[in-house]
Homo-oligomer: A and B are copies of this chain.
Amino acid sequence: TIDPERFRETFERYSEIGRTDADGLHRLALSEEDREVRDRFVSDLEDLGLEVRIDRIGNTFGRAEGTDPDAEPVLVGSHLDSQPYGGRFDGQLGVLTALETLRTFDDEGVDHRRPIEIVNWTNEEGSRFKPALMGSGAFTGELDLEEVLEHADADGVTVAEALEEIGYRGEAPAEPREPYHSALELHVEQGPKLEDQGLSVGVVEGVFGMAWLEVVVHGDADHAGPSPMYSRKDALVAASDVVGAVRRLSNRLADDVVTTVGELEVEPGSINVIPSEVRFTVDVRSYDDAVVGDLVEAVEREVEAACEREGVEYDLEEIWRIPHTEFSPLVAETALAAADDVGASHRAMVSGAGHDASYVNEITDTAMLFVPSVDGKTHNEAEFTEWADAEAGARVYAETVERLANA
């Protein structure tokens, strides 16, 4: 059994790195704060006697050998980057639950036949650099490594440059050294379902499909006073029409549809100037991949119609699409049985948030555990998970990993 005090102390220590005034976390991928937390993680892995490996996209692994040198390893872990002014639990809790599991095995001499690899994936959030799940996507071959290394943030800094800057451009190939046996990731739910039902643990059997679009509307700057309304080409009027249309698409086509415009930037952004250019993003999701496809087409039609009404031009690019995931029944059943045996209240569920585990599922049998988010709140400094739930999750996690590592 895990050591609740050590677990919590470690969590508090990691939470200091990039902590915000409102007790959230601002630790964007490949930032100075990310470097600092990665250094801490590497030093904790070394203290545990693990062999540390950093790959070309900065994914950081620690390997605990098993008793059977020929057995395929089990992969555990999550991500340490955060959203801008995000929460302390998103990602970090999964890495530290995996770390606590390995510390417990080491402390208590828990035998495991298979090697166990713990990982911190690079840029899960997709906020500073798009797309999300970048490290796991490159590692599993689902994203093109050389291409994503050249993706730039808003200041034009590329992933490759940022990795270099923080000293995490590793030399190990960004690919598995050998086939894995299985993988398990713990994460906060980031939604309200577990809390609504008063449960401590979710066994995640699938993840929504999702698509990200980037739209740039090209209007024409002019004066807010003497420019007659009939002559205007206002990029913001067209973009705002699309924001409303995207909202109206939610819960259409299927019950589970969610649609969001999260970024929107206006040029030149002067109070008495008609906006000449607006760049915005659209995020659409459903468990049904065909519905995601229909949503993308519906957004395209709305952009076209709004821009035609206003007489403005636009560019539209689909910058990311990931189909829905069906996790491994083998791993999910192992986790459900472990939750039963540990005595944690639980249910099976699917995730509306994307996770590195989706890409990992492409190369090995994978599933996830969720612990509840208070009020369902996440990507917000107020994100919170009750410690009793975090501990219950860690107990189920350690038990499941032990079973997988000896299977």
Contact = CB atoms under 8 A, between A and B. Distances in A.
A240 B379 CA distance: 22
Contacts of A263: 266, 269-271
A258 B228 contact: yes
A120 to B, nearest CB: 20
20 contacts: A83-B270, A84-B270, A130-B271, A191-B228, A220-B380, A224-B285, A226-B352, A229-B259, A231-B376, A234-B247, A236-B264, A237-B247, A262-B270, A262-B273, A262-B275, A263-B270, A263-B271, A268-B379, A272-B283, A276-B380
* Number of identical protomers: 2
In this complex, the interface size class of chain A, counting residues with CB under 8 Å from chain B, is: 35 or more
A265 interface: yes
6 A-B pairs with least C-beta separation:
A191-B226, A226-B352, A225-B352, A240-B243, A224-B260, A240-B240
Interface string A214-225: 000000111111
A221 to B, nearest CB: 4
A85 B268 contact: yes
Interface of A: 83-86, 125-127, 130, 132, 189-192, 208, 210, 212, 220-229, 231, 234, 236-237, 239-241, 243-244, 247, 250-251, 258-266, 268-276, 281, 283, 285, 351-354, 376-380
Nearest to A224: B260
Nearest to A377: B222
Contacts of A127: 270-273
A126 B224 CA distance: 13
Contact of A262 (B220, B272, B351): B272
Mostly, the A contact residues are loop
B222 A379 contact: yes
Contact of A190 (B126, B191, B223, B376): B223
Contacts of A234: 247, 260
A225 B83 contact: no
B271 A226 contact: no
Contact of A264 (B221, B266, B353, B379): B266
Contacts of A273: 83-84, 86, 127, 262, 379
Nearest to A212: B271
A275 B262 CA distance: 6
B285 A380 contact: no
Contacts of A275: 261-262, 264
A382 B370 CA distance: 55
Contacts of A353: 223, 225-226
Contacts of A192: 228, 231
A39 B137 CA distance: 56
A269 B276 contact: no
